[in-house]
Amino acid sequence: MERIYITDVAPRDGLQNQSVAVSTEDKFTLISKLVEAGIENAEVTSFVSPKAVPMMSDAAELFPKVQGAFPQLNSFVLVPNLKGLEKAYEAGVKEVAFVLCATETMNQKNINMSLAQAIESTLQLIEESKRLNIRSRTYISVAFDCPYEGETPLPRVVELAKKVYEAGTDQIVIADTIGSAAPAQVTERLNEILKYIPVEKTVIHLHDTRGMAVANAWAALQCGIRWFDASVGGIGGCPFAPGAAGNMATEDLVLMAEQSGFDTGISLEKLLYAVDHAQQVLDKTLGGGSIKWLRQNVRATTTLNPKTLNF
């Protein structure tokens, strides 16, 4: 069976905007349950200003704990600038993620920079990460549609992907940030991007705002993509799309891929324990579109009794 690779972004992208405070220990437990389920790649935290993102203020404490407990886990952290990269390096981080928004307005709203300034900043981050011998992945955010400018011009997305690839980033993540993409658009954009970027360096990051994340993932698979971002339980939500369902649920992606003849190396049954833990911590119902079927067929009974959450 052909292998696909999943980076679970729940510990960072999923948790960062939650209204409920999540302790370092609960974050560590979530990551441990992802590892138990077979997750080999995860975005575990971000080295950002504690004032800007209070949920990630424990990055310097959490990352070494995760790295020490799970040396086999490829643990990415998000860094927004050179200061964050320096802090990540001091903490022993070996893999980082950068974000480059593909529209002028999104950059102004998000980081108070012009698009040109954001490009320059991202290229500097890639160059510095190479100097420090740290692997990087670069998100091309709002690569399909922007909440402020509408459809993002495809030539611009291609040009940005080329710039970060030529600068030496290790992975280029094409992000459907607001979850507005449809399979035909995914196919069109990826086919054009892949004329210039090696498929093995290209990742798709999908949100499920309109319930099409799995269909979009299938379209990406048909284009040759084998690297995907997802979030256990669909944790996330998009601050630019009120009521959005959040990231593509890892369990939905694993179920679709496995039933379609791909190997993920991930246990659906054990993944449900990670959903249970996140659900308990966040005090909300979680799970992708397949969660009801999974609970009935992959594991007959599901409980939030802490005793059942330990392996």
- Domain with 201 in it: what CATH number? 3.20.20.70
For 194-226, give the DSSP string: TTTS-GGGEEEE-B-TTS-HHHHHHHHHHTT--
Least confident of 150-159, 213-222, 244-253, 281-290: 244-253
Report H helices in the chain.
24-37, 59-69, 82-90, 104-111, 115-131, 154-167, 183-193, 213-222, 250-259, 268-282, 291-297
Select from 25, 9, 121 the least CA-distant residue to 65. Answer: 25
Q: How many CA within 13 A on the CB side of residue 206?
A: 30
Question: Could you tell me the pLDDT band of residue 304, with boundaries at 50, 70 and 90?
Answer: very low
Q: Which sequence positions are flagged as catalytic?
A: 238
Query: How much is the pLDDT for 299?
Result: 72
Question: Could you tell me the pLDDT band of residue 309, with boundaries at 50, 70 and 90?
Answer: very low
Q: How many domains does the chain have?
A: 1
Residue 150 has pLDDT above 70, yes or no: yes
pLDDT (average), residues 88-113: 96
Task: Report how far residue 285's alpha carbon sits from residue 280's, in angstroms, rounded to the nearest whole number.
Answer: 9
Residue, of 300 and 99, whose pLDDT is higher: 99
Distance of CA 160 to the CA centre of its chain: 19
Select from 41, 33, 46, 55 the least CA-distant residue to 8. Answer: 41
Mean pLDDT taken over the chain: 93
> Tell me: the pLDDT tens digits for 131-142?
999 999 999 999
Residue type for position 159: E
Question: Could you tell me the pLDDT band of residue 154, with boundaries at 50, 70 and 90?
Answer: very high
Q: If DSSP codes are grouped into helix, strand and coil, which group holds residue 4?
A: coil
> Tell me: the pLDDT tens digits for 114-127?
999 999 999 999 99
Q: What is the DSSP letter of 249?
A: B
Give the pair of three-digit tokens for residue 7.
Answer: 């980076």
227-230/202-205 β-pairing:
parallel
Expressed as residue numbers, the domain containing 178 is: 2-309
> Tell me: the pLDDT tens digits for 250-297?
999 999 999 999 999 999 999 999 999 999 999 999 999 999 999 999
Task: Report how far residue 207's alpha carbon sits from residue 308's, in angstroms, rounded to the nearest whole number.
Answer: 30
Distance of CA 30 to the CA centre of its chain: 15
Question: Could you tell me the pLDDT band of residue 243, with boundaries at 50, 70 and 90?
Answer: low
For 8-32, give the DSSP string: E-IIIIITTT-SS---HHHHHHHHH
Give the pair of three-digit tokens for residue 100.
Answer: 């480059």
φ, ψ of residue 113 in degrees (nearest 5): -130, 155
